C-alpha cells in the first residue's frame, strides 16, 4: 500500500495512531512530517515514542533541533522549523543510516536529509479536534508498514 489516509478525532486517537507506527517501525526508518503549527506532528511523535517503549516524555525539539530518546529503537526526533533557508550540512544525515528511527518535523525545510525511501505524513487541521493524516510510502518497507496500520 503506497498511500493511506485517516482522520483522528482527538489527541488520544493520534497517540494511538503513532503508537501503531512505533510498534511497527524498523531500524533505520525515516518518517517525514509536514503540516501547520499545531497540526499534530509532535503529538504523533509522542505516540510513536510510546510504541517504541520510550519512557521519557517527548516534547517539541524546536529550540534544540534534535532530541534523542531510547526505546526498542533509538528515536531521533528532529524539528527543522528553524532551518528554513539554511543550506548547510550539520551532520544530521549520519543518523539516517543508523539503526534508530528518525522522525523529522518540517522535513521540507531540510531537503538534504530526505533519503530515497521514507514514510511521509502530511497533517491537515480539519477543526479543533480533528486532524487528517495523509501518509505516503516511498519504498517497499514503508509500504508494508502502511499495510500493518490498516
Ligand X SMILES: Nc1ncnc2c1ncn2[C@@H]1O[C@H](COP(=O)(O)OP(=O)(O)O)[C@@H](O)[C@H]1O
Contact set with Mg ion (CB under 5 A): 41-42, 60, 105
Q: Are 39 and 134 in contact (CB under 8 A)?
A: no
Question: How far apart are the C-alpha atoms of 61 and 117, rounded to whole Å?
Answer: 24
Q: Does 111 bind ligand X (CB under 6 A)?
A: no
- From Mg ion, ligand X, none, which one binds at residue 67 (CB under 5 to 8 Å depending on kind)? none
Among 9, 17, 32, 15, smallest CA distance to 105 is for: 32
- From Mg ion, ligand X, none, which one binds at residue 131 (CB under 5 to 8 Å depending on kind)? ligand X
Contacts of 51 (CB under 8 A, 6+ apart): 18, 19, 20, 21, 22, 23, 24, 25
Out of 18, 19, 43, 47, point to the residue binding ligand X (CB under 6 A): 43
At closest approach, how far in Å is the CB of 105 from Mg ion? Answer: 5
At closest approach, how far in Å is the CB of 34 from Mg ion? Answer: 11
Mapping DSSP to helix (H, G, I), strand (E, B) and coil, where does residue 59 land?
Answer: coil
Task: State the cell numbers at 102.
Answer: 528518525
Mapping DSSP to helix (H, G, I), strand (E, B) and coil, where does residue 13 land?
Answer: helix
Nearer to Mg ion, 24 or 60 (CB): 60
Nearer to ligand X, 6 or 143 (CB): 6
Q: Does 35 bind ligand X (CB under 6 A)?
A: yes
User: Which residues of the chain form contacts with ligand X (CB under 6 A)?
Assistant: 8-11, 13-14, 35, 37-43, 60, 105, 129-131
Amino acid at each position: 500500500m503506497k498511500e493511506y489516509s485517516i482522520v483522528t478525532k482527538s489527541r488520544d486517537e493520534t497517540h494511538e495512531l503513532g503508537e501503531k507506527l512505533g510498534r511497527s517501525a524498523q531500524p533505520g526508518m525515516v518518517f517525514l512530517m509536514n503540516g501547520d503549527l499545531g497540526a499534530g506532528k509532535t503529538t504523533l511523535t509522542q505516540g510513536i515514542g510510546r510504541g517504541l517503549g520510550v519512557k521519557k516524555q517527548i516534547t517539541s525539539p524546536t529550540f534544540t533541533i534534535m532530541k534523542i530518546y531510547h526505546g526498542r529503537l533509538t528515536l531521533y526526533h528532529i524539528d527543522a522549523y528553524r532551518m528554513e533557508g539554511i543550506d548547510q550540512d550539520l551532520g544530521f544525515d549520519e543518523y539516517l543510516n543508523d539503526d534508530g528511527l528518525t522522525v523529522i518535523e518540517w522535513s521540507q525545510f531540510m531537503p538534504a536529509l530526505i533519503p530515497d525511501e521514507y514514510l511521509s505524513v502530511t497533517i491537515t487541521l480539519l477543526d479543533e479536534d480533528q486532524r487528517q493524516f495523509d501518509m505516503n510510502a516511498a519504498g517497499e518497507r514503508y509500504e508494508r508498514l502502511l499495510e500493518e496500520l490498516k
